[in-house]
Amino acid sequence: MPKAGEIKRNAAVEYNGKTYIVRDIERSVPQGRAGGSLYRMRMYDVVTGSKIDETFKDSDMLNLADLVRRPALFSYADGEEFVFMDQENYTPYNLHKDAIAEEMLFINEETEGLQVIVVNELPVALDMPTNVELVVLETDPSIKGASATSRSKPAKLSTGVTISVPEHIATGDRIKINVEERKFMGRADSK
């Protein structure tokens, strides 16, 4: 049983007799408090999808729920759901668009390293790779001689998300992005 401070995003926990997926964690250290950090967790019930916010002390123990991570690829959108295909046994996993709206900003059919999190045989969340590669659809013209450390400019990527990139990046370039920080990491290796 891990302590609250050891729980990560997309972990499945058992709390009050139900299974929840932890979507967001905010850590705070109240002043004048000798006990340590507080962790405010936004959790979603895997069965009903209902949301709860709970605050735990660093020392509170939480039960991890049984979960399985399955390697998958994004397949297609079907109305209100996105369908992912298991890379080993071709099982389709449907996830509601609201549950994975943030993740879909960085996913296309070529995105590798995705894992569907399955709890009690239900797909409940996506585990993203640290970095993804996307193509720049639209940005200001690149400036010849601009260094990689100079000013930045906005760039719209192939999934529709906009991030800041260095001035030397041009439309059509394939780049690496850190998903969690939404930051440009460099040019992608050409395939």
- Phi/psi for 15 (5° steps) reads -150, 130
Written as one letter, the residue type at 178 is N
In this prediction, residue 30 carries a pLDDT of 79
Mean pLDDT of the chain: 86
In this prediction, residues 7-16 reach a mean pLDDT of: 86
- Is pLDDT of 32 > 70? no
The model's pTM: 0.70
- Is pLDDT of 143 > 70? no
Written as one letter, the residue type at 104 is M
d(CA 14, CA 20): 6
d(CA 21, CA 120): 12
d(CA 23, CA 99): 9
Collapse the DSSP code of 4 into the 3-class scheme (helix H, G, I; strand E, B; otherwise coil) and give the result.
Answer: helix
Angle 97-95-174 from CA coordinates, rounded to 5°: 70
Confidence of residue 122 (pLDDT cuts 50, 70, 90): confident
**Token pair of 105 as six digits:** 């900003």
